Amino acid sequence: SAVEYGLNAPFSVEYHDSIPSTNARARDLAADGASDTVVLADEQTGGRGRLDREWHSPSGGIWLSVLFRPDVPMAHAPVFTLAAAVAVTRAAREAGVEAGIKWPNDVLVRHGDEERKLVGILTEMEGESDRVSWVVVGIGVNANVDPADLPDDANPTSLSAERDEPVDRRLFAQRLLEEFDALRQDPANVVEAWREYATTLGKQVRVETPNGTIEGEAVDVEFPGALVIETESGREVVSAGDCEHLRPI
Ligand code: BTN
């Protein structure tokens, strides 16, 4: 089969050559009571992104979802999305690709003053009385794919395009999952690790939030993942939104 990773990961791994969406499959496994399981596919035929967008997932990428059951309040769950961004950034750097993180969880590679997207992360969860019952962290890595085969509105790049040679997907997925496993058990330290790779801090940003647009300088990130923005009228702490980096004036 195309997906013979043979991973030695701290999760049980379910492989698919082709599946509609690893996140959808992981949610079904969650409903059946599973935990500590990774669903991994060579190709997705119905991959989903944030804001219900399509996520193109051709063969050659690393499309995976991690299902686990952290014993934390619902309000802390955003930290796992940051943890995934840190884990995949570390794996990319080990593979020779200087990736950075745009708040909250886009993993990008800089080309001059342009930023190209390497990875997308989509977290879904369910809770019971304000405690997390399960979390599914979906990670889509444009690994050995030609960016020309991905929609250009996302301004995509891939590991193979950045390195001029393919990556070992088994090794990459394994490193990513090892890092993620360590970080999920240490949520208090995730934010500090995230800051190390952040491209957003110190930049002028415009964030579209559910309550309107906020513009200013991104100065920090606070647990469990909120962005602190210095605006003309004072400090704002934004817990969710679509962030755009503006050029310094
Ligand atoms: C984004 O919009 O940036 C998030 C994209 C998330 C894609 C991944 S690929 C594995 C998992 N399965 C899905 O259907 N989506 C996520």
- 61 CB less than 6 Å from ligand 1? no
Q: How far is the CA of 135 from the centre of ligand 1 (A)?
A: 14
- Nearest CA-CA partner of 164 in 100, 96, 110, 108: 96
**pLDDT for the residue numbered 3:** 57
Q: How far is the CA of 17 from the centre of ligand 1 (A)?
A: 17
Residue the block writes with tokens 């499959």: 25
CA atoms within 13 A on the CB side of 115: 18
Is ipTM strictly over 0.90? yes
Whole-number average pLDDT of the chain: 94
For residue 73, the 8-state DSSP code is B
Paired with 100 in beta bridges are: 108
Spatial neighbors of 243 by CB under 8 A, at least 6 apart, are: 102, 103, 104, 200, 205, 206, 207, 218, 227
Q: How far is the CA of 13 from the centre of ligand 1 (A)?
A: 18
* Residues 96, 116: Cα–Cα separation, whole Å: 16
- 121 CB less than 6 Å from ligand 1? yes
Give me the DSSP letters along 128-193.
Answer: ETTEEEEEEEEEEE--S--GGGS-GGG-B--HHHHHTS---HHHHHHHHHHHHHHHHT-GGGHHHH
Residue of 21, 29, 55 to mutate, ligand 1, most atoms within 8 A of C-beta: 55
Helix ranges, the chain (H)? 22-31, 78-94, 159-163, 169-184, 190-197
Q: How far is the CA of 120 from the centre of ligand 1 (A)?
A: 6
**pLDDT for the residue numbered 120:** 96
Contacts 24+ apart (CB under 8 A), 23-29: 23/48, 23/65, 23/122, 23/124, 23/136, 23/138, 24/48, 25/65, 26/65, 26/66, 26/67, 26/136, 26/138, 27/124, 27/136, 29/67
- 65 CB less than 6 Å from ligand 1? yes
pLDDT band at 248 (very low <50, low <70, confident <90, very high): low
For the stretch 130-166, pLDDT in tens is 999 999 999 999 999 999 999 998 899 999 999 999 9
Paired with 172 in beta bridges are: none
CB 74 within 8 Å of CB 127: yes
**What are the chain's domains?**
12-197 (3.30.930.10), 204-246 (2.30.30.100)
- 123 CB less than 6 Å from ligand 1? no
Residue 4 has pLDDT above 70, yes or no: no
Paired with 127 in beta bridges are: 132
